[in-house]
Amino acid sequence: MKTFAMIPALAVASVVSVTGLLAQEELTSSPRGAGQKVQLAQVQVANYNWSDVHLYLDQGGHVTSLGFVGSMETRQFKLPASAVGSSQLRIVAHLIAGSNYVSPTFVVWPDDLVMLTLENALGQSTLKL
């Protein structure tokens, strides 16, 4: 009986998730003048670590979840509009079965692609703009 009671809650959670994704998509192409669109920066993460990671964007203490990257996978994430032009950005990679990696501080501008490579030895990980 409890299983059936969870179905409406799952449906609501699905609608909320889709609504959140649509709202994020609207932010990625907000108008800038007549006919121009702002392109947000993105981060590409190549995870060569044996552990899956959960990625966060730290904007001077305001932390936003970006998503998950499995072991030996590469994924790309759009950064929030508030990240563009901010001078206190860092990426935090929380290894599911281990410690954290915190990137050096960086700045992004529209259309930038930040490339983070997580190595098995986290100290050898790199961040490129």
In a domain, 120, yes or no: yes
**pLDDT tens figures, 88-105:** 899 999 999 888 999 999
Question: For residue 56, how many C-alpha atoms fall within 13 Å in the half-sphere facing its CB?
Answer: 15
- Which pLDDT score is estimated for 39? 74
In a domain, 109, yes or no: yes
How far apart, in whole angstroms, are the C-alpha atoms of residue 52 and residue 79? 20
pTM to 2 decimal places: 0.69
Q: Could you give the number of structural domains in the chain?
A: 1
pLDDT of residue 21: 43
Q: Residue 67 belongs to what domain range?
A: 39-128
Q: Is residue 55 domain-resident?
A: yes
In a domain, 82, yes or no: yes
Residues of the chain with pLDDT under 70: 1-38
CATH number for the domain that contains residue 51: 2.60.40.2890
Q: Say what the pLDDT of residue 35 is.
A: 54
Per the domain annotation, does 48 fall within a domain?
Answer: yes
Is 74 within 8 Å of 45 (Cβ atoms)?
yes
pLDDT of residue 3: 47
The answer to the question of residue 5 being in a domain is no
**Integer Cα distance of 28 and 41 in angstroms:** 9
User: Does a structural domain hold residue 51?
Assistant: yes
Q: What is the pLDDT of residue 27?
A: 43
Assess if residue 61 is contained within a domain: yes
